Amino acid sequence: MKIYTKTGDKGTTALFGGTRVAKHHIRIDSYGTVDELNSHMGLIRDQDINEAYKELIVIIQHKLFTVGAILATDPEKAILKNGKERLNIEKISSTDIELLEQEMDIMNEILPPMTHFVLPGGHQTVSFCHIARCVCRRAERLVTALNDIEPFEANALTYLNRLSDYLFVLARKLTYDLQANEVKWIPEKH
């Protein structure tokens, strides 16, 4: 399989289903940002962290590919003439969302309560989590804008929202595990 097709040389790309759109189309920006997030998740997974975190990150990366596939599918061509879905993969389920919630609950049992916002940083691995969280929030903003124009499966959007929360809690938990300094943001008073 050749990687280069030359079909995008004039600034368009094909959605799943064959429809060609501009490479700056909000749908492309949406799934491109999800892909960027997936790369950041790989960077976190490559750190010297607990194996259980790494295993969950692999699951998350698979789910992000699913979200990307959902976003890359032309909604007008999502259903084939025989009535079957063009995208023949398992979708994002409430169980996938609940897994992130359960993991956050487990980590939060160990962490000290939050009394202030925290400044990103303290350790390179923690910073990678905060970067991924921010990219996830950007993906979520783009995906919600796309959803306003062309609605798609609600669980895909919910998953991104929950994932950004998970990444924040993971950053705090890694700060704790790595015995890094968690710097509280305390606003200066006039």
Mean pLDDT by 10 residues, the chain (190 residues): 75 80 89 98 97 98 96 78 78 97 97 88 96 98 96 94 98 95 84
* pLDDT recorded at residue 114: 84
Report the relative pairing of strands 117-118 and 20-22 from DSSP bridges: unpaired
Euclidean distance between CA atoms 105 and 170, whole angstroms: 11
Measured between alpha carbons, how far is 39 from 88 in angstroms, rounded to an integer? 24
Cβ–Cβ < 8 Å for 165, 100: yes
Quote the pLDDT of residue 143. Answer: 97
Architecture of domain 19-74+89-180 in this structure? Up-down Bundle (1.20)
Residue 78 is predicted with a pLDDT of: 66
pTM of the model: 0.91
Tell me what pLDDT residue 4 has: 76
